[in-house]
Structure 1
Amino acid sequence: MTPTTPQGYTLFETDLELAASLLEDDLRQLNDAHMFITGGTGFFGIWLLECLLWARETRGLKLRMTVLSRSPEAFLEKRAPHLRERDGLSFLAGSLTTFEPPAETVTHILHLASETNVEQSSDWAQRHLHAAIDGTRRLLDMAAQHCTEAVLVTTSGAVYSPMDSVVDNLCVEGPAGVADYASERTVYGEAKRMMEVMTSVAARSHGYRALIARCFAFVGPYLALDSNYAIGNFMRDALMGRTVTVDGDGTPLRSYLYAADLVVWLMRILVRGRTGVPYNVGGNEIVSIGELARLTARIGGAADDVLIKGTPVPGAKPSAYLPSLVRTESELKLKVSVPLEEAIRRTMEWNRERIAHKV
């Protein structure tokens, strides 16, 4: 049976209701809150907006959201016309580093924005650092001005990729030059770490709660299928009836969290998380990229149509990008609700619906 999409939404009711039901107790603590959200027009943001709007309508939640966007009108016209003139939702035009804070008191700030480098531009590193540091500073200044209760920053598992290393108790220098320091991996991870530090230091001075969500890999409706996300590329191939292709050797290890769970985890961290303490956000099913390609092909109806271009190096340890969920589960009682196979199935079904209706 095909999941239904309620009027005024683009996500399946199954997912909207899942998030609302798991967050019943948490959402009550956000009644009468005014959230200021950056990154509200991206993958994380659209999921968050629709789930919270659903909670407003079905649970009577009195929650207001102000979303910062460089071009709200373009977003509402081309990507999300269903979000225009919704009760409890407003948009503020501006960039992260130059916006004028709203006059109305903001009780919670959710910093979800991040500069991506899909276009592989040469000035990405500079732009990312500028947005991460100067943009975060501007948000923290607003938090102090508004006596904000809590600031949530979404960073990344990339903070666990150290530039330097210790060998036999000796510190080895690491990067050998500008190319290493300016690499996408280094800049991204170090900038995210700095956002965590800045938010925690400012929290000590101004008294708000500093919440840190270290986000890993995700799957769900609105995930780009033509970007640098392997799982998105695999689903694109399967949906188009093409061979699901792995450019590498298929050995790297990953785990994925479905976007409905992502919303639940972020809101739980916002409400119950300890200040200045990072929480990993990600899936619990470990899968190799090759296994992921085969799983996606099978769900898409072409189980044998997989091409892995690379050849594994005998005896080599596979790279891994996997979160420990011990703290998240023990302190916040969070669990994965949607298994990986079901997450892929729902995401592909949503995309099929969009393709069928030419949305």
Structure 2
Amino acid sequence: MYFNLNQFELDRLSELKNSEILATGGTGFFGRWILEFVLYLNNKYNFNIKLYLLARNDNIEINEIAKQSRNIFFIKNDIRNIKELPENINYVIHAACTPDNIWHINNPIETMNIISIGTKQLLDGIIKLENVKKVINLSSGQIYGNSAYKKIKENSFGALDCFSVKSIYSESKRYSEALCKAYETFYRLPIVQVRPFSFIGPFMSLQKPWAINNFIHDAIKFKKIKIVGNGKPIRSYMYPTDMIEWLFGILVSQNHNNTYNLGSDEGVSLENLALVIRDILGNRIDIEILNMNDNDDVFLPDIEFAKKELDVDTKVNFKEALKKTIKWNIDK
């Protein structure tokens, strides 16, 4: 069991009992953890939540879970083709489109279409519903661009190079936020913008093109950990139990139309990340710093606003998150 809620947290979530939730990107990392949390609330505390997971690709495991549960429903469809949504939906979590930057670069037009057209199709469906209490649009911490701030606040915007294919995802997510603001203003939809940063934990593929995934993969296989740059860039990694508890805290919050960073503010350099992975595994694993670039950027969220407004905190620190992730990947 992944979750351990106290009584205050359970009481706060009690309004979700007998509700209906729609999550787009239902087979992705967020979708899988939304599923795990709803199963936890239903099975342990009888919340009786109906969860609809929308995704264009099949997932055998999620399909099996849906078949075995009377409250879990898998909808196979491309979000861009959605015409109607289940009529009694109360909450929507829009998590469609992978954050995989390699995929974005190889599929730039598809990336823009999924985010722009998909978000519009979803919003057009939502405005037809009568019982929607909250919509969460999962944007991205990447929309901040080249911020000069060590910890990025919700208003700390920097520059984005719109002529670079590397900005396709970020620019599209900025557009999705603007589109949501238009629907919020015109249709009075209760939309909250959430900007995820970086995460690590169970159900995340180690084949994803991010340094921490590559480091863990190579270390488990007793390969050399190779740091392409100088090892100085600083990142943070939130464990998904914190991620999902914050997300559901936003669902039931009385604060509407806000914007929140979602992530950990416990920074670690890529070099130290490699060292901690080696220490956890307790094996002789070589670390090579290739120094192919001099990048020393910092990508850390300022989460003080979210902590204050939502009365949440991070329960799992970086090293514990790393230990849990490594153990899950070894045991699976």
TM-score w.r.t. the length of structure 1 is 0.82
Change (3 A) 1:353 1:84: farther
Corresponding residue number in structure 2 for 1:287: 268
Output aligned runs, 1:161-310, within 5 Å.
Answer: 161=145, 175=161, 181-184=163-166, 186-272=167-253, 274-302=255-283, 305-310=286-291
Change (3 A) 1:230 1:83: farther
Q: Is the 8 A contact 2:219 2:285 kept in 1?
A: no
Corresponding residue number in structure 2 for 1:53: 39
Corresponding residue number in structure 2 for 1:353: 331
Q: Is the 8 A contact 2:66 2:73 kept in 1?
A: no
Provide structure 1 residue ranges, at least 5 long, that are not aligned to the other structure. Answer: 1-12, 164-172, 355-359
Identity of aligned residues (%): 26
Give the secondary-structure state (helix, strand or coil) at the position aligned to 1:35. strand
Displacement after TM superposition at 1:209 (Å): 1.2
Corresponding residue number in structure 2 for 1:318: 296
Give the secondary-structure state (helix, strand or coil) at the position aligned to 1:146. coil
CA distance in 1, matches of 2:297, 2:22: 37
Q: Is the 8 A contact 1:219 1:256 kept in 2?
A: yes
Displacement after TM superposition at 1:200 (Å): 2.2
Match of 1:155 among 124, 132, 139: 139
Displacement after TM superposition at 1:202 (Å): 0.8
CA distance in 1, matches of 2:317, 2:160: 38
Give the secondary-structure state (helix, strand or coil) at the position aligned to 1:242. coil
Q: If you compute each CA radius of gyration, which structure gives the higher value, 1 or 2?
A: 1
Change (3 A) 1:338 1:116: closer
Q: Is the 8 A contact 2:82 2:125 kept in 1?
A: no
Corresponding residue number in structure 2 for 1:62: 48
Give the secondary-structure state (helix, strand or coil) at the position aligned to 2:246. helix
Corresponding residue number in structure 2 for 1:329: 307
Residues 107-139 of structure 1 show CA distances to partners (whole Å, capped at 9, x for unaligned) of 111101114556657662211111111111111
Q: Is the 8 A contact 2:28 2:98 kept in 1?
A: no
Residues 294-344 of structure 1 show CA distances to partners (whole Å, capped at 9, x for unaligned) of 11111122365222111775xxx8201110011011111211100111111
Residues 240-297 of structure 1 show CA distances to partners (whole Å, capped at 9, x for unaligned) of 1112221111010111100110001111112216333210011121110111111111
Corresponding residue number in structure 2 for 1:357: none
The yes-or-no answer on 1:343 pairing with 2:327 is: no
CA distance in 1, matches of 2:251, 2:181: 14
User: What is the number of residues matched between the two proteins?
Assistant: 320
TM-score w.r.t. the length of structure 2 is 0.89
Provide structure 2 residue ranges, at least 5 long, that are not aligned to the other structure. Answer: 148-158
Change (3 A) 1:238 1:103: closer
